Structure 1
Amino acid sequence: MPAEGNQVVKAPPRMEEKVSEATSATESPHRNTLKKSQQLLDEALEFCTASQDFWAHGDFENAIASLDQAYSLILQADTNDDPKLIQQKEDIRFMISKRMLEIYASQHTVVNGNHDAIPMVMNRHVRREINLFKGAERNFFIRAYKRSGRYRMRILKALKEAGLPEELSWLPLIESGFNVKALSRARALGLWQFIPSTGYKFGLKRDQWIDERMDVDKSTQAAIAYLRELHNIFGDWCTVLAAYNCGEGKVLRVIRNQNINYLDNFWDLFEKLPWETARYVPRFLAALFIVNNPKQFGLDLTDPDPPCEWEVVTTSKQLHLADIAKVLGMSEKSLVMLNPELRYKITPPTSYELKIPEGKRSLLIAKMDKLPAYIPSSRLYSYHRVRPGETLSQLARRYHTSVRAISNMNNIRRENFIRAGRRLKIPTGRRWPVYVATSKASSLQSKSIEYHVRRGDSLWLLARRYKTNIQQIMRLNGMKSTRLHIGQKLIIPKGTHQPPPRGSTAKYRVKRGDSPYQIAMRHNMKLERFLRLNKLTPRSKIYPGQVFLVDVE
């Protein structure tokens, strides 16, 4: 029944409504904070956009001011542990840092001559490295400086043509001591110390016969391309050198983790870099100070070695450098020094630009056809997984070989130390090179094919497939045993069987530890070709058991 005056009496609120109101009252400040933070981040993004516009019109001052304002805004944003806002804030902070580096980089001009394109900073870190070069590393520095004469003028010329600072011509002194065959613990090789993957990225070929990381001219061009790429990212040459040492990814991560809005100076991030990388730049600057004025720092530097000068002769068959050196009237050691990229002192079976002393070209061309051809025999080895406590001496005795043979086959520099778990190649027989006269070699090549052993192959199967016999295959390859190894290269007499046509493909099943790069290299393919053939991207992951297409030689 209605109350007096027809007033409606409201029922008391239900318990659910009370709980909802209380929760809403509690969550409202949280939502407001998140909303305000989102607005601050949106505004910071607008300032980043404005900075880009200022930069495009050449107004560097306002471009930098806009980034400063953007950074002050993201500092005010309270993310309240909201994952979405945390990620947005981090992304904007990284964008500001990177944009600041780009703006400063655009103001740098690369100069040559006697100008200091690389700032010559003297501080306690540089002084420490100078003292090391004067003391404990004195002999290393003097030897490296002496070797620099062989190659530095070629490097200097290439840097000038590329428009990069001339000071970089001394970088190999720090990287390798100007030792063209220097090999680091990280498997970096050559004057410029490329690891295989980076060398591959910048066009350095590495196969059974050649490793272009040791080619002076080609590795220098690769280094120039890499340094230019890094300079486009960082702008500051000292930061570029740090990235050259440890990779741009690591330096960018350090920049991203800083609690400052930007880094326009290498010394801002010096303390945050790995010790070896942080030391790298002061070490380089120390070397520059010394070579520019050695007497000031108490070093008596001897005259550098005379420059290596050469001319080129193109070869298309396999020749041993010892035979070529004999024809040219020079030592094999001197010829090896001109062609350090040849891994076994033998020219490859494909076209190769052989470097010889100036003035010897006509002599070699005249006698080229009379040089004995080299036909590689099978490479006999087995694998051994190192167990804790094993030594190379023990393995050499067990497999009836020598410590030196195992070391050479596995590029081991410290023969008194091997790591447990490492997979070693162990020589199980001699490598029997076969030398034949050129006319005979041509006959053999025209009547035979090159074959790479695959899983399940045997001499009997190969002889049957190619309409020949086991004895002929063994004799042609200098084999003393019928044992085959996967990947072994054989010369097989031609029969009625024809090899697959050029451009053919085969299926390959991925094994544990494989990567697209490794598979491509194993099948003499460009990485881009392998990825495109199998519809992969550079970020694709592959797994054991997957089947991909590879080129057939």
Structure 2
Amino acid sequence: MKYLRRVLFLISTLSLVFFLAACSSATKPAKTVAKPAPKPAQPAAAQPAAQEQPKVSEEPVIEIEQADVITQAETDRGEEFEKDATVLLEDAFGAYEEAQAAISREDMEGALAKLDQAYSLILKMSLPADSPLLQEKNDLRILIAQRIQKISASRTTLASSVNGSIPLVENQWVMKEIKSFQTVERKAFEESYKRSGLYREMILGELRKEGLPEQLAWIPLIESAFRPRALSRARALGMWQFIRSTGYRYGLKQDKYVDERMDPVKATRAAIQYMVELHDLFGDWTTAIAAYNCGEGQVQRVIRAQKVGYFDSFWDLFANLPYETARHVPRFIATLLIVGDPGKYGFSLPVPDPSLQYETIRVDAAVKLATLSQKLALDQALLVTLNSELRHDSTPNYPYDLRVPAGYGEQCLACIASLPQFIPPDVVTDRHTVRKGDTLGAIARRYRTSVNAIVSLNGLRSRTMIYPGQKLRVPSRGGVVTAPAPAPTAKPGESVTYVVQNGDTLFQIAKAYKTTVDAIKAANGLASDILAVGQKLVIQAGRAQ
């Protein structure tokens, strides 16, 4: 039985060997058929031709097969890379979400560990330039960096409690600004410091309400020298230097009578709201202050162009910011250092002005502040300072909360009704015909106005494209051309509104309307004989002599 099994096993083995050999021989012709192989062997005389035939037919076949194999391999590898990158990106997002959860638990160490893990994962991603995952990778990189920056800023705040939450450094840029304040800007710095007393207590009170660093109260020294009506070349206005659009964005009213960008209290509240949003966006005060100066869009564009490493220090970002913005932060830090220790930096600062004390009354009529101050023997300059947002130093023709010196509220209310109503001047324009070589800048200088005013008044789409012969409306600032006195158009005793023309004088107007210069000045609250083109005067015509 055992012998039979061995025989059967041997027969089976031999059968398998012969079968495999047959299969092997059967596959060989198939391979030659797949390639355009030469025909069966020819006679010896035809042998050379038979040798050239495979040369012509096989070369392109080999190239095609090789090219197909390479392309497929590259495709496979690309899909593999993309698949691996997708997994890495998902893992990185997962780590980022875990970091967010750790932050909500106030576990900053755990959050940093997860953020580091997420960043390590995206560093492993190798993507081609046209990969759809590239944008997601970059977006996540920025998110990670912002979170790390915000955690770092919160730690700095705790560690720097003595000096507040804004780190004070004495690097080369800060020392350069200190040097400037010590020399060429010394007088301006000391005057600004003195003026700060008018508003600093108010600003500090608003900052404390929001729990913000008190050092921020010194920003107006850099922005405007604490002048509520400061106007920059970029048309930023007020103590906190709001441009028109940002003022509207934060609720600052701007109309014919009032521009609240010049209101110290309302502008301070708007500035605080803006800075809080910037701090939430960028995570630290130095970057937020830079963005306050040039706008968050500019800073974000610079950030996108940076490596993540910049988040370790604001000063790595500093070199890539616009020059004026780049100076803004070191000037601010230089100010903090000087006011914190004047003697160390060679200063003996003046005593700040006392803070403004006032009360508020509701006024329903347009009244010149000059008229009110004369009536009550008030300091006109103080009344103007208290109400610096009034564009014509006049209350508007709608209900308005007027600030008056403390203790004068009732007296002011009692006499308001007896004061003449003020009518603000309309915008008066001149016509300018563009000549060859004219530019908007040259035209603006000639008419003592701004390029922005000309662009806005004429609805221009470009600040540079004007052409010879073009007619432009230009805001008029008055002139020296004399004009004939106006003809009276009112009956004796009747009140009329007269619009001042080029060359008008109070004497000419008074003579034409059979009245006196003093009567016109009293009726319109004029402190001097100076008139502005377009100014409206209320005149009561007199009787013929």
TM-score w.r.t. length of structure 2: 0.69
Counterparts in 2 of 1:343 and 1:383: CA distance versus 1, 3 Å: farther
Aligned counterpart for 1:12 among listed residues 26, 30, 34: 34
Q: What are the ranges of 5 or more consecutive residues in structure 1 without an aligned counterpart?
A: 398-402, 412-417, 431-469, 482-553
Aligned counterpart for 2:475 among listed residues 425, 429, 433: 425
**Larger deviation, residues 110-119 vs 45-54:** 110-119
CA distance in 1, matches of 2:356, 2:112: 49
1:164-243 aligned within 5 A: 164-243=212-291
Q: What's the offset of the Cα at 1:331?
A: 3.8
Aligned counterpart for 1:358 among listed residues 402, 406, 417: 406
Residue in 2 that maps onto 1:549:
none
Confirm or deny that 1:341 pairs with 2:341: no
Larger Rg: 2
Aligned counterpart for 1:38 among listed residues 57, 77, 86: 86
Q: What's the offset of the Cα at 1:256?
A: 2.7
Q: What are the ranges of 5 or more consecutive residues in structure 2 without an aligned counterpart?
A: 1-21, 37-60, 455-462, 467-471, 481-488, 502-545
Counterparts in 2 of 1:293 and 1:188: CA distance versus 1, 3 Å: same
Kindly indicate whether the alpha-carbon contact (under 8 Å) linking 1:205 and 1:211 is maintained by their aligned counterparts in 2: yes
Q: Which has the higher helix share?
A: 2
Counterparts in 2 of 1:328 and 1:90: CA distance versus 1, 3 Å: same
CA distance in 1, matches of 2:286, 2:193: 22
Q: Render the CA deviation track for 1:386-443: whole Å, top value 9, x for unaligned.
A: 664579999999xxxxx66x589969xxxxxx9995963236899xxxxxxxxxxxxx
Residue in 2 that maps onto 1:369:
417
Name the aligned partner's letter for residue 179 of structure 2: N
Q: Render the CA deviation track for 1:93-115: whole Å, top value 9, x for unaligned.
A: 11211222343455576899965
CA distance in 2, matches of 1:163, 1:358: 29
Name the aligned partner's letter for residue 340 of structure 2: N
CA distance in 2, matches of 1:364, 1:132: 46
SS at match of 1:280: helix
Counterparts in 2 of 1:226 and 1:108: CA distance versus 1, 3 Å: farther
Would you say how many aligned residue pairs link Structure 1 and Structure 2? 426
Confirm or deny that 1:136 pairs with 2:184: yes
Residue in 1 that maps onto 2:298:
250
SS at match of 2:422: strand
Q: Render the CA deviation track for 1:132-156: whole Å, top value 9, x for unaligned.
A: 1001111110111121122112112
Kindly indicate whether the alpha-carbon contact (under 8 Å) linking 1:180 and 1:191 is maintained by their aligned counterparts in 2: yes
Aligned counterpart for 1:478 among listed residues 479, 487, 498: 498
Q: Render the CA deviation track for 1:162-193: whole Å, top value 9, x for unaligned.
A: 21111111111011011111111111111111
Aligned counterpart for 1:49 among listed residues 91, 97, 100: 97
Counterparts in 2 of 1:250 and 1:370: CA distance versus 1, 3 Å: same
Aligned counterpart for 1:328 among listed residues 376, 400, 418: 376
Q: Render the CA deviation track for 1:42-94: whole Å, top value 9, x for unaligned.
A: 22222212222222333222211222222222222221222413212211211
Aligned counterpart for 1:270 among listed residues 318, 338, 343: 318
CA distance in 2, matches of 1:250, 1:408: 23
Residue in 2 that maps onto 1:147:
195
Q: What's the offset of the Cα at 1:377?
A: 5.9
Residue in 1 that maps onto 2:510:
none
Kindly indicate whether the alpha-carbon contact (under 8 Å) linking 1:309 and 1:357 is maintained by their aligned counterparts in 2: yes
Name the aligned partner's letter for residue 95 of structure 1: L
* Alignment root-mean-square deviation, CA: 3.7
Counterparts in 2 of 1:212 and 1:396: CA distance versus 1, 3 Å: closer
Counterparts in 2 of 1:348 and 1:251: CA distance versus 1, 3 Å: same
Q: Render the CA deviation track for 1:198-250: whole Å, top value 9, x for unaligned.
A: 11111111111111011011001111111111222233221221121122222
Counterparts in 2 of 1:347 and 1:59: CA distance versus 1, 3 Å: same
1:284-433 aligned within 5 A: 284-376=332-424, 378-382=426-430, 384=432, 388-389=437-438, 424-426=474-476
Q: Render the CA deviation track for 1:344-364: whole Å, top value 9, x for unaligned.
A: 112111111111111111111
Residue in 2 that maps onto 1:499:
none
Counterparts in 2 of 1:341 and 1:95: CA distance versus 1, 3 Å: same
**Larger deviation, residues 45-54 vs 215-224:** 45-54
Residue in 2 that maps onto 1:282:
330
Name the aligned partner's letter for residue 373 of structure 1: Q
Kindly indicate whether the alpha-carbon contact (under 8 Å) linking 1:339 and 1:354 is maintained by their aligned counterparts in 2: yes
CA distance in 1, matches of 2:500, 2:189: 49
Confirm or deny that 1:74 pairs with 2:122: yes
SS at match of 1:354: strand
Kindly indicate whether the alpha-carbon contact (under 8 Å) linking 2:164 and 2:214 is maintained by their aligned counterparts in 1: no
Q: Render the CA deviation track for 1:283-331: whole Å, top value 9, x for unaligned.
A: 1111111112222211222222232221111111111111111112024
Kindly indicate whether the alpha-carbon contact (under 8 Å) linking 1:147 and 1:305 is maintained by their aligned counterparts in 2: yes
CA distance in 1, matches of 2:401, 2:159: 33
Kindly indicate whether the alpha-carbon contact (under 8 Å) linking 1:51 and 1:67 is maintained by their aligned counterparts in 2: yes
Residue in 2 that maps onto 1:23:
71
TM-score w.r.t. length of structure 1: 0.68
CA distance in 2, matches of 1:166, 1:207: 32
Counterparts in 2 of 1:114 and 1:205: CA distance versus 1, 3 Å: farther
Q: What's the offset of the Cα at 1:370?
A: 0.7
Name the aligned partner's letter for residue 168 of structure 1: L
CA distance in 2, matches of 1:23, 1:235: 48
SS at match of 2:476: strand
Counterparts in 2 of 1:408 and 1:341: CA distance versus 1, 3 Å: farther
